[in-house]
Structure 1
Amino acid sequence: MIRLLIVDDSPLMRRLLGRVFAAEGDFEIAFARDGAEALEKLAAFEPDVITLDVHMPGMDGLDCLDRIMLMRPCPVVMVSSLTEAGAGITLQALELGAVDFITKPERAVSLEIDTLAPKLVEKVRAAARARLRGSLRLTERVRLRSGLMSRAPAPIPRKRASAPATKRTIKAAPSTGLVLIGSSTGGPPALDAVLSRLPADFPWPVVVAQHMPGSFTGPLAQRLDKLCAITVTEAAYPMPLAPGHAYIGKGDADVIVSIRGSSPMVMAAPSLPEHRWHPSVDRLVDSAMQHFPSERLIGVLMTGMGSDGAQTMARLKEQGGRTIAEAEETAVVWGMPGELVRRGGAQVVAPLEQIADRIMDLVEGS
């Protein structure tokens, strides 16, 4: 049985979510009406996974998440709105340690819950199996347990200091190749860890397919741009590919590489039904292989459930391209990179903190 704690101040939302998971037959469910009650049940119920509403009276979702990660780290799936403000708060939650998020429907939730249920259950199941970084806020946890830190909720820093850019320099001709990155569950913090280590003069463009709603990818790009030496932007419309730039595919669509005249471009494209998750990593890699020689492409597959990207990156390796899979010990969910490894499609398997250096090694060796 999976022990699930549902935290939401809405009685309707608690009832609907409870019904969805009770129907699965292998969830033991407890409920909390607010953050304070959630913390009380953290020790008593010992959940395997938590769904946590972002907006609650008193202790809000971020403050509650902060205390969960200090008192008893547990996989948490945030329940967020689809608004841009909701996206910003959700990205903060992912930085604090949340594994994933689900978005409330724009229409009445009671009318949409049956449609959302399969993906909701899949996300929560994946979160229950997720790997939390053992180092996550370790010093603060030790201080709390030793009585050196108050148990009262502490103010949460709403902005992070920019990560220092790597001092490594790259010797490679600009714009002669392309880096393709795919990620899903656990992806935003992983993208931060990789992109923030690339120098401002990184010679190849980077295109990212991160599974996310359309209202989230713009704030994600803005957040990463503040943390990275390279320029990070959302590929919401056709843009020329430029060195020293990373392009985040717009959510609820796909991101593809194309050629206009003689110039390589990145652009959003309407999502195709044969791809389950969007932006599709498979479609991104396939489009790049149509316009770049395989040996000028580097595919990177990081944390995420499912297998998106594994098939095309394995084919890329077969045709002379280079591929990197995130190692199991650092991936929040080792679905996508694990499938690439199982297919024999990973030239390099590396923990998250080494991926940027492996990318730079491959670019220099081109």
Structure 2
Amino acid sequence: MTRLLIVDDSALMRRLLTEIFALAGDFEVEVARNGAEALEKLSSFAPDVITLDIHMPQMDGLACLDRIMLVRPCPVVMVSALTAEGAEETLEAMALGAVDFIAKPKGAVSLEIDTISAALVDKVRAASKARISRATRLRERVRAAAGGELANPARPPRKAISPRALPPLTALSGDGLVLVGCSTGGPPALDALLGELPGDFPWPIVVAQHMPASFTGPLARRLDRMCALTVQEVDRTTPLLPGHAYIGKGDADLILSRRQSALVAMPAPSSPDHFWHPSVDRLVESALRLIAPNLLVGVLMTGMGHDGAAAMSRIKQEGGLTIAEAESTAVVWGMPGALVNRGGATSVCPLDEIPNHLMALLGQ
């Protein structure tokens, strides 16, 4: 049985969530009414995974998450509102160490809870098996154990990429594209990838990250603030430029096309032939119809499921290059693992090595 701690200040929400996981049959459930109570139960209940509301009295979800990741790191799924404020707070939670999030129903919770129950159970099951790095916020955890200040310190400046030994590579040439796919654990992985690339990176980077529509705009703006690259959400037909990264709009798909010979990215209604959206497979398939495979590099990072594995395998089979995130760093090794298991990965790299690998491929 998986030990699940449900943290929510709403008695109704605690009851509904408890019923959902009781019906799932493989969870032992305990509840907490606020962040302070949740912290007390970290030792007494020792949860395998936690669902955590953001807005609570006494100690809100972000403060509670901060303490959890310092005192007893544990997979956490945030329960978030589908609002601009909720998106910003959820992205901050992901930066603090949350594995995933689920959006609350828009209407009356008791009437709409069934619309998220299956996805919630899937996300919590996946999160319970997620890899929480021993290095996550290690310096702060040591200070906390020694009774030091628990406040979240300012983010340190990024280090410049240092040269390191890589396998012999033939630098790619021509006007190509980097195609990136990710899901569970994706926002911090995108931060780690895009944040280490220079503003003059020679190829456009197009990203399919599974997310609701209200979250992808805030994600793009957050990444744009933190990266040398220009990062934007694709919410309309958008020409692709070097030094830019493009985030597909959530609840839709992201496809490539040509307009007067210029390559563009554009949102498209989500395809019923694809389960996850924005679909990595559909993005890559659209690229393969327009661009020679030897001018494509596919990067498949952390995520639940297998989206992107089939299409990125085609990139490799037809002469392009693909990179799968290594199991050692992936929060959930579903998507990159599926690519590796299909024999579709040209290279398998820990997350912190992928930027160097891309730059070496492009002669940077």
TM-score range, shorter chain: over 0.9
- Match status 1:231 vs 2:203: no
Secondary structure of the corresponding residue to residue 23 of structure 1: helix
The answer to whether the Cα contact below 8 Å between 1:163 and 1:228 also exists between their aligned partners in 2 is no
Q: Corresponding residue for 1:106?
A: 106
- Match status 1:315 vs 2:310: no
In 1, distance between residues paired with 2:238 and 2:139? 43
- Match status 1:353 vs 2:348: no
The answer to whether the Cα contact below 8 Å between 1:322 and 1:362 also exists between their aligned partners in 2 is no
Q: Corresponding residue for 1:29?
A: 29
The answer to whether the Cα contact below 8 Å between 1:232 and 1:245 also exists between their aligned partners in 2 is yes
- What displacement does 1:133 show? 1.2
Rate the CA distance shift 1:109–1:143 in 2: closer, same or farther, 3 A.
Answer: same
Letter matched to residue 274 of structure 2: H
Deviation digits for residues 211-236 of structure 1 (CA, Å, limit 9, x no counterpart):
01101011100110111111000011
In 1, distance between residues paired with 2:106 and 2:130? 28
Q: TM-score, normalised by structure 2?
A: 0.95
Aligned residue pairs: how many? Answer: 358
Q: Corresponding residue for 2:158?
A: 163
Rate the CA distance shift 1:199–1:335 in 2: closer, same or farther, 3 A.
Answer: same
Letter matched to residue 196 of structure 1: G
Write the mapping of 1:278-357 to structure 2, written as runs, cut at 5 A. Answer: 278-357=277-356
Write the mapping of 1:144-223 to structure 2, written as runs, cut at 5 A. Answer: 144-146=144-146, 148-149=147-148, 154-156=150-152, 160=155, 163-164=158-159, 166=161, 176-223=175-222
The answer to whether the Cα contact below 8 Å between 1:175 and 1:242 also exists between their aligned partners in 2 is no
In 2, distance between residues paired with 1:161 and 1:238? 36
Q: Corresponding residue for 1:252?
A: 251
In 2, distance between residues paired with 1:213 and 1:360? 31
Secondary structure of the corresponding residue to residue 59 of structure 1: coil
Q: Corresponding residue for 2:166?
A: none
Rate the CA distance shift 1:82–1:132 in 2: closer, same or farther, 3 A.
Answer: same
Q: Corresponding residue for 1:139?
A: 139
The answer to whether the Cα contact below 8 Å between 1:75 and 1:99 also exists between their aligned partners in 2 is yes
In 2, distance between residues paired with 1:314 and 1:196? 26
- What displacement does 1:145 show? 2.2
- What displacement does 1:197 show? 1.1
Q: Corresponding residue for 1:90?
A: 90
Secondary structure of the corresponding residue to residue 345 of structure 2: coil
The answer to whether the Cα contact below 8 Å between 2:248 and 2:278 also exists between their aligned partners in 1 is yes
Q: Corresponding residue for 2:79?
A: 79
Rate the CA distance shift 1:172–1:317 in 2: closer, same or farther, 3 A.
Answer: closer
In 2, distance between residues paired with 1:355 and 1:344? 19
**Gap runs ≥5 in structure 1:** none
Q: Corresponding residue for 1:18?
A: 18
- What displacement does 1:141 show? 1.6
CA RMSD of the aligned region, Å?
Answer: 1.7
